[in-house]
Structure 1
Amino acid sequence: MTIAVSLGPDLERFVKEQVASGQYSSVEDVVRAALVMMEDAASGDDLSAFGTLESLRARIIEAEADPRDYSSEEADRILADHREKRLGYSAT
């Protein structure tokens, strides 16, 4: 299904920045991820890409205490795996 939307300059800039950063491979991927997060919030699941704020804080504390030193490639792989499982798409 194809749907055309007008985002306005601020949201358009934000979406383009997300794609340019490499976090998402296309405008469609950015919109899809946003809609999945909205769907979760509407269902009462209230899970963003990383969970609730409390969950994110706990993960940060856990990561800071982890003695392993992840390379940027390893971090990218972990994030890609997360996106594929959580959002249902692969950026590759």
Structure 2
Amino acid sequence: VAITPEGKRAVSISYEKTLKLWDLETGMELATLTGHSGEVNAVAITPDGKRAVSASDDTTLKLWDLETGMELATLTGHSDDV
């Protein structure tokens, strides 16, 4: 789990190949981010709180827009789990 810098949202990761964006004030799920084909192992949020980077068993990193829930980029180059 990673918390946005302002402390109002969280991003959780899962072995079900997804990330979830949460509103910490209401406890409501805001979005499910899909795109990885393997288990998601790690997540980090940018200092401005607008983007997240996830790492997966599918050997990729993905860059996400936390405002829209859209995948912005897939970073490749690893030959094993990230």
Q: TM-score, normalised by structure 1?
A: 0.21
Structure in which a larger fraction of residues adopt helix: 1
TM-score by length of 2: 0.22
**Between Structure 1 and Structure 2, which shows a larger proportion of strand residues?**
2
